[in-house]
Amino acid sequence: MTLERYSRQILFPGVGEAGQRKIRQATVGLLGLGALGSTLADLMTRSGVGRLVAVDRDIVEPSNLHRQTLYTQADADAGLPKAVAARKRLREINPDVDIECLSLDLGPDNALDVFEECDLILDGADGFETRYLLNDVAIHLGIPWIYGACVAARGMTATIIPGATPCLTCLFPEPPPPGSQETCETGGVIPPVATLVASLQATEALKLLVGDRPSLRRGLLSIELWPFRTVLIGESALPSPDCPACQGRKLRFLAGSAESRSARLCGRNVVQIVPREPLGRSLRELAPRLESLGRVRTMEGVLHLEIDGLTLTLFPDGRALVRGTDDPGRARGLYSRLFGS
């Protein structure tokens, strides 16, 4: 490794040569290679981490390109898995870094294997439930993770150190019901909010990697870019003494007992998704929000949406049938993008 590549970063007193060596020795995990994940992977790779382990289950689609900065038109035309396209691009950016991009649907069965060697995990997930799984994984492994989320022109981030700061369950005891929150599919998103939130996450990651914990930003930061407003809450908050996850170590999402989106193949090219909780909104409320995405029909008390070559049939209790794929991960990914669960 030539240090010349990192000379401007080493000149910054917060990093220095000793810090750069620590960055070089680190393994960083990343969940999601979408909008946040693109910028996170790019910044970690350019910063010269030793190894990056990134996971994503989706393929590159044209509607990703305005904000997912790792990908090109050619990647979308070829329908490449994000993990494949990202690995190629990241290798071109910095061949010093050991890049491992896995095309898989992170779940309780594989999450520990994926992240067990990581020093910290960055959150670029697109659904709430995977974040609770990530929270459980970080508590189990005793490593920090950096929460990040964005939709429309809003973003949120928090640095979570199990035992030292509130964890995700301390902050929000339960994931929101499916469909109750906007997602990038239903509420849209502007690119700068994603790159901004990811940049904030990457900065905290660098502080952790060089071992400068006193400089970490504490609390949950909310940013609204349009119009501009920031709110920082819980700067001096400690873990909640009765948190079942970080204090009681009941890791429901890692144990699989809380997994809401049980998805299984039922018949040829049909996957059924059964959420743990009912929908947070009625089909009548959801229909207009889905109309910009594909053809929506509501009949006989169910909603049909044609999207990305798939037909999603949604029942009032939140159960869904996704026709046109035999891949439960793809169906779960679609459900998660639409309803945030």
> Which one of 169, 183, 201, 336 is in contact with Zn ion (CB under 5 A)?
169
Our CB check for Zn ion shows the closer of 173 and 188 to be 173
158 binding Zn ion? (CB under 5 A): no
Task: Indicate if 184 belongs to the active site.
Answer: yes
Using an 8 Å Cβ cutoff, are 331 and 271 in contact? yes
> Which one of 41, 161, 206, 246 is in contact with Zn ion (CB under 5 A)?
246
> Which one of 243, 263, 303, 320 is in contact with Zn ion (CB under 5 A)?
243
Our CB check for Zn ion shows the closer of 49 and 167 to be 167
Stretch that binds Zn ion, among 110-118, 235-243, 275-283, 321-329 (CB under 5 A): 235-243
Tokens 């996971």, located at residue: 55
Q: Which residues 80-119 are close enough to bind Zn ion by CB under 5 A? A: none
- The pair of structure tokens assigned to 198 is 């990811």
- The pair of structure tokens assigned to 105 is 């649907």
165 binding Zn ion? (CB under 5 A): no
User: Which is catalytic among the residues 101, 118, 170, 184?
Assistant: 184
Sheet holding 145-151, edge to edge: 98-103, 51-56, 27-31, 120-123, 145-151, 154-160, 220-225, 228-233
Size of the site for Zn ion (CB under 5 A): 6
List Cα–Cα distances, 331 to 185, 277, 278, 295, 310, in angstroms: 15, 18, 18, 17, 9
Q: Which helix (H) or strand (E) holds 52?
A: strand 51-56
167 binding Zn ion? (CB under 5 A): yes
* Minimum CB–partner distance for residue 167 and Zn ion (Å): 3
Using an 8 Å Cβ cutoff, are 279 and 260 in contact? no
Interface ranges with Zn ion (CB under 5 A): 167, 169-170, 243, 245-246
Q: Which residues are catalytic?
A: 184
